Amino acid sequence: MMAKRYLSIHEAHELLAKGEVSSVELTEAALQRIDEVEEKLRAFVTVTRELALEQARHADERIKSGEFSVLTGIPAMIKDNMCTRGTRTTCASRMLESFVPPYDAAVVEKLNAQGMVMVGKGNMDEFAMGSSNEHSAFFPAHNPWDLERVPGGSSGGAAVSVAAGECIYALGSDTGGSIRQPAGFCSVVGLKPTYGRVSRYGLVAFASSLDQIGPVTRDVTDCAIVLNAIAGYDRQDSTSVDRPVPDYTKSLVPDISGLRIGVPREYFVEGMESGVEQVIRQAIGKLEELGAEIDWDVSLPDTPAALACYYIIAPSEAMANLARYDGVKYGYSAPEAKSMWDAMEKTRQYGFGPEVKRRIMLGTYALSAGYYEAYYLKAQKVRTLIAREFSEAFAQCDVLVTPTSPTVPFRIGEKMDDPLQMYLSDVCTLPINIAGIPGISVPAGFVDDLPVGMQILGEPFSEEMLLRVAFAYEQATGWGERKPPVQGKGR
Ligand code: GLN
């Protein structure tokens, strides 16, 4: 049987379990779709065709033997900053262009144990620094809703591939919005779990106190399924939290009556597009119709400081993390250097792109002896205030609702010469990483055929609550069912 292009994990699993489709067929369908559209979308840095078919054959055997899970045999994409044994892991950087890890990231190991079929590694902004995928050292990815627009970033490839039917689900990483913002821009579901919920072992570090891995999926049910598989304590990650993992699919009940939903007024920011604001206000109206109590009187007054705080803390951590790329240990190494210092300089000159260099400069400046207290220490204090404001808000409300981004997907090239404008596309998402709380983006509608995402936030480890609200909203609206127009031939 021909596998349908836009199956969800749970639909595909049902067909696999009934023997109506095989994993090899599902995988071939995904690979065929990749062949059709990839020239236009560029969602993949590497397509792992042979590996995928081999894993699919194994999955089919497992299914026949009766020992399989809901993720067995389902085609997936992994963002290219998560280590995959034997498959190159580039972070979309020249520095790691030919780096083949000798081990799997913890999340990859977990998915492999469930019988994942990995069709490839996802395009991204270099080292996950960016909001548009244009900072990939290789090529930008394109938005399947409008090829002239960005898919968001840094996990652009993950969102594009799920939205366009090149795989069924993907893993992304989120330091300041990199799962939620592209999910919003491509009309798919993206969840950044609570800091510590998912192991970061084997995730190439950008800003270690902010980074978190999470699912990018076609619907909320799939999001719960993938979170079930990747969440949990890992002693290889000292910041992972030892706390039981509930069955997240149990929270998928379309009932939010009586829930208190807060709307923080600072998130309807200046510069927000009126179309986006309208869509989100309608979405909030829908939540009210579904029985939630809406509290319009929530304030997070330090929100305007979050962007500055993030752009001190993230580059400071990044500059320390990126010091390991010296041309000696692994990755690119400049040939023909005169001395050790010369080798290091030439390696970094070529190996790092402009945005990565900018972050290293920012971080080095913020941490330097003369400025440490004025910038880094101050930013840490602001971080504490922001986290405290969120916990006060959650004493008043069960969840908060905001737009995922202040705009619809922007045009490729539009913000490349203006880093500050680019940084602003994450105003609504990065406070969440600063506070370490979870956030999910769900499709909430369209403005002139371009997707808008709604972000739902909760206190630490409230993923069940977020999924419940997201699920109720999804069931009542079905925005995620609309599919992008990208075709194999022509436009
Ligand atoms: N866009 C933000 C940045 O450039 C966030 C990136 C991310 O979440 N990885 O830092």
Query: Tens digit of pLDDT for each residue in 442-465?
Result: 999 999 999 999 999 999 999 999
What is the pLDDT confidence band of residue 1, given thresholds at 50, 70 and 90? Answer: very low
Mean pLDDT of all residues in 403-409: 97
Q: Which of 129, 171, 173, 355 for mutating ligand 1's site (highest number of atoms within 8 Å of CB)?
A: 129
Candidate list 22, 79, 132, 161, residue with the active-site label: 79
**pLDDT over 70 (residue 3):** no
Q: Which residues pair with 118 in a beta bridge?
A: 76
The SS3 call for residue 76 is strand
Q: Which residue, chain included where needed, has tokens 């590996």?
A: 51
Q: Which residue CA neighbors atom 4 of ligand 1 most closely?
A: 130
Mean pLDDT of all residues in 328-356: 94
Mean pLDDT of all residues in 291-319: 97
Residue ranges of alpha helices (H) inside 79-204 are 106-113, 156-163, 180-186
The SS3 call for residue 296 is strand
Whether residue 381 lies inside any domain: the answer is no
Whether residue 90 lies inside any domain: the answer is yes
Mean pLDDT of all residues in 169-195: 98
Q: Which of 80, 81, 125 for mutating ligand 1's site (highest number of atoms within 8 Å of CB)?
A: 125
Rounded Cα distance, 89 and 103, in Å: 11
What is the pLDDT confidence band of residue 270, given thresholds at 50, 70 and 90? Answer: confident
Whether residue 345 lies inside any domain: the answer is no
- % of the chain exceeding 90 in pLDDT: 95
Rounded Cα distance, 479 and 482, in Å: 6
Atom of ligand 1 nearest to the CA of 178: 8
Q: Domain range for residue 464?
A: 2-259+396-481
Sheet of strand 450-457, all strands in order from the earlier edge strand to the far edge: 44-47, 117-122, 75-79, 169-174, 212-217, 189-192, 439-447, 450-457, 399-403, 260-264, 293-298
**pLDDT over 70 (residue 325):** yes
Give residue 487's pLDDT. Answer: 83
> Residue 62: enclosing H or E segment and its boundaries?
helix 49-65
The SS3 call for residue 476 is helix
What is the pLDDT confidence band of residue 95, given thresholds at 50, 70 and 90? Answer: very high
Whether residue 9 lies inside any domain: the answer is yes
Q: How far is the CA of 103 from the centre of ligand 1 (A)?
A: 25
Render 388-401 in DSSP notation, one character per residue: HHHHHHHHH-SEEE
Q: CB–CB of 306/434 below 8 Å?
A: yes
Our answer to whether residue 161 is catalytic in this structure is no
* Two structure tokens written together for 460: 């630490």
Whether residue 281 lies inside any domain: the answer is no
**Beta-sheet pairing, 189-192 with 212-217:** antiparallel
What is the pLDDT confidence band of residue 491, given thresholds at 50, 70 and 90? Answer: very low
Structure-model confidence comparison of residues 80 and 425, the more confident one: 80
Mean pLDDT of all residues in 31-53: 98
The CA–CA distances, whole Å, from 467 to 227, 407, 439 equal 10, 24, 10
Give residue 5's pLDDT. Answer: 76
Q: CB–CB of 214/222 below 8 Å?
A: no
Atom of ligand 1 nearest to the CA of 314: 10
Q: Which of 124, 154, 204 for mutating ligand 1's site (highest number of atoms within 8 Å of CB)?
A: 154
Rounded Cα distance, 125 and 175, in Å: 12
Average pLDDT in the chain: 96
Rounded Cα distance, 304 and 452, in Å: 22
Rounded Cα distance, 54 and 48, in Å: 10
Q: CB–CB of 323/364 below 8 Å?
A: no
Our answer to whether residue 178 is catalytic in this structure is yes
Q: Which residue CA neighbors atom 10 of ligand 1 most closely?
A: 129
What is the pLDDT confidence band of residue 271, given thresholds at 50, 70 and 90? Answer: confident
Q: Which residue, chain included where needed, has tokens 């940084």?
A: 423
Atom of ligand 1 nearest to the CA of 430: 5
Rounded Cα distance, 491 and 482, in Å: 18
* Two structure tokens written together for 320: 């320390």
Atom of ligand 1 nearest to the CA of 153: 1
What is the pLDDT confidence band of residue 8, given thresholds at 50, 70 and 90? Answer: very high
Candidate list 178, 187, 251, 333, residue with the active-site label: 178
**pLDDT over 80 (residue 269):** no
**pLDDT over 60 (residue 2):** no
Exposed (0-12), middle (13-18) or buried (19+): which is 387, by Cβ within 10 Å?
Answer: middle
Candidate list 23, 154, 187, 462, residue with the active-site label: 154
Q: Domain containing 29 — which CATH number? A: 3.90.1300.10
| Domain count along the chain | 1
Whether residue 224 lies inside any domain: the answer is yes
Q: CB within 6 Å of ligand 1 — which residues?
A: 128-131, 154, 174-178, 206, 314, 426
Mean pLDDT of all residues in 386-390: 98
Our answer to whether residue 155 is catalytic in this structure is no
Q: How far is the CA of 128 from the centre of ligand 1 (A)?
A: 6
Whether residue 20 lies inside any domain: the answer is yes
Query: Tens digit of pLDDT for each residue in 413-437?
Result: 999 999 888 998 999 999 999 999 9
Q: Which of 440, 403, 472 is nearest to 257 (CA)?
A: 472
Q: How far is the CA of 39 from the centre of ligand 1 (A)?
A: 26
Query: How many residues are given for the chain?
Result: 491
* Two structure tokens written together for 483: 């599919």
Whether residue 92 lies inside any domain: the answer is yes
Query: Side chain identity at 89, as an amino acid letter?
Result: T
Query: Tens digit of pLDDT for each residue in 108-155?
Result: 999 999 999 999 999 999 999 999 999 999 999 999 999 999 999 999
